[in-house]
C-alpha cells in the first residue's frame, strides 16, 4: 500500500508543476483510459452536486449511478474538510453549472 501512495504523490507533484489546464489534460489523456477519465469525471460531478445541496436520490437519478457511490462521495466530503474546501472553492470560481444529459 505504501508504494501506491508514493505513486499518487508522484502524480500530484507532476500535476502541481503543470501551469495550465491544457497541459494537465494532455498529461491525463496520456495516462488514463477513456473509462478511467469518465469515472473520475463522474465522481467529480457527484461531489460538486453534493456540495450544492442536491439530495442523493436526485443525484442518483440525474447521473444514473447507485446511492452507494454517492454515499462514498458524501463521506469523503464530511470526513475530509480540505477536500470539501477544494470543491467549494471550485464551485465559487465556476458558478456556471454544466448540464448533464440523462
- Residue-wise pLDDT for 41-91, tens only, equals 999 999 999 999 999 999 999 999 999 999 999 999 999 999 999 999 998
User: The whole model's pTM is what?
Assistant: 0.79
Q: pLDDT tens digits for 4-18?
A: 688 999 999 999 999
Residue 71 DSSP class? H
Contacts of 42 (CB under 8 A, 6+ apart): 63, 65
Task: Specify the pLDDT at position 5.
Answer: 83
Are 56 and 74 in contact by the 8 Å Cβ rule? The answer is yes
Are 78 and 56 in contact by the 8 Å Cβ rule? The answer is no
Distance CA 49, CA 43 (A): 10
Are 61 and 49 in contact by the 8 Å Cβ rule? The answer is no
Assign 92 to helix, strand or coil: helix
- Domains of the chain, by residue range, sit at 1-31, 33-102
Amino acid at each position: 500500500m505504501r508504494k501506491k501512495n508514493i505513486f499518487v504523490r508522484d502524480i500530484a507533484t507532476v500535476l502541481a508543476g503543470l501551469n495550465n489546464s491544457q497541459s494537465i489534460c494532455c498529461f491525463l489523456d496520456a495516462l488514463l483510459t477513456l473509462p478511467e477519465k469518465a469515472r473520475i469525471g463522474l465522481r467529480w460531478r457527484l461531489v460538486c452536486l453534493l456540495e450544492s445541496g442536491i439530495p442523493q436520490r436526485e443525484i442518483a437519478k440525474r447521473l444514473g449511478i447507485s446511492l452507494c457511490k454517492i454515499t462514498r462521495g458524501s463521506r469523503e466530503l464530511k470526513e475530509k474538510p480540505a477536500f470539501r474546501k477544494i470543491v467549494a472553492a471550485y464551485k465559487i470560481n465556476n458558478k456556471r453549472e454544466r448540464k448533464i444529459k440523462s
